[in-house]
Amino acid sequence: MSRFLNIYDWSTLSVIRTTRNRVIQEILSERTLGRKPFLQVIIDLTTLEKFGKFKGFENLIRVYNGKRGLHLVVVPTVVGRWRVPWSFRVWRGKRTSSPAQLGLKMVKSLPKKLTQHFQVMVLVDTGFGSVQFLHGVRKKKYHIIAGIARTRKLIDGRCVAQLHKRGQQLRLQGLKFPVYVSWYYFQRHDRKYEKRFVISTKALKASTISWWGKRRWQIEGWFKTAKHRFGLHRFGQGTLLGVYRWFVLSLISYVLAHWAYLSTALGENPPREAIAFRNLPDWGQAAEIAFQTIFPHLVMLLLLQDIERLRDVALSQGIDIHISRCKI
């Protein structure tokens, strides 16, 4: 595996393009008549913590918020039943493109053959709510739901924390267009509630803005799945190319398992609460379904190896196993 990722000459870009084209094909095949559905584009930063020295890409290992490792800005997309990690970028540290700038580049690179069929809703937290980011996404004519700090200033000098009416239109300092504000209460790890402010570039009811603001948190569940179920943070390659390929194959593995889950009865008709990332499928079972569907010959080889390994045990119990190939 290490040689396959670090040395062998195969086109990573071709793998990405092929996967994306198939993803777009599958998503568009399920389009329905009527109003355009929403394509949720969620942007956030996650840290893949690492210790030790990495000569091949040591310039990418940085400390951010007290965590040392590779810091990825990731863009998962959600449309209908589909949850697809679309792209990622590595934050390279101070005096380089900020996470918000990297996120904006990825939003601008979304393919037209996908975005033209949906209403694009970009969901970000406070770290991505910069003036440059909001203006950049606005130019693409996408809607934005962004978390903002309670200290964010209005053009009249007041801060957001002084507002008392949800859903009102306001103008923030530095922005050339009005936005609509709301807030909700978020339960922290210590079970205390914290007031979170969120703005929308689209005129929506206060409750709707708050609902969209909460939707952004589904990415936290996805990060845990990508790391602990699909090994996103368990890379050990010695070259930058190897690490990059590890990320790509890890995310493709997630897509394949997710598609396998959608092929089941539960995936085709998920319970209402499973529309978000709250009630996650059994990823081990989904991965096994994908494995058996896509690589049946490998499944059979593993089974035959197991039978051969346990042949003596079977004979000791009076069982003689004979395997013969049948004609299909």
pLDDT of residue 277: 45
Is the sign of the CA dihedral 144, 146, 152, 157 positive or negative? positive
pLDDT of residue 34: 74
For residue 153, is pLDDT > 90?
yes
CB of 24 closer than 8 Å to CB of 77: no
Q: How confident is the model at residue 280 (pLDDT cuts 50, 70, 90)?
A: low
pLDDT of residue 187: 81
For residue 283, is pLDDT > 80?
yes
pLDDT of residue 276: 45
Count CB neighbours of 318 within 10 A. 6
For residue 266, is pLDDT > 70?
no
CB of 86 closer than 8 Å to CB of 77: yes
Lowest average pLDDT, out of 24-33, 69-78, 118-127, 195-204, goes to 24-33
Share of the chain above pLDDT 70, in %: 94
Q: How confident is the model at residue 208 (pLDDT cuts 50, 70, 90)?
A: very high
**Token reading at 148:** 């903002």
The fold of the 7-239 domain, in CATH, is Transposase Inhibitor Protein From Tn5; Chain A, domain 1 (3.90.350)
In the chain, what are the domain boundaries?
Answer: 7-239
**Token reading at 280:** 């996650």
Angle between helices 99-108 and 131-139 (to 10 degrees): 0
pTM of the predicted model, to two decimals?
A: 0.84
For residues 223-230, average pLDDT: 91
Average pLDDT across the chain, whole number: 87
pLDDT, tens digit, for every residue of 23-36? 999 888 877 777 88
For residue 192, is pLDDT > 80?
yes
Q: In whole angstroms, what is the distance from residue 44 CA to residue 217 CA?
A: 10
The SS3 call for residue 26 is helix
pLDDT of residue 237: 80
Q: In whole angstroms, what is the distance from residue 10 CA to residue 245 CA?
A: 10
Q: How confident is the model at residue 2 (pLDDT cuts 50, 70, 90)?
A: confident
Angle between helices 240-262 and 218-228 (to 10 degrees): 110
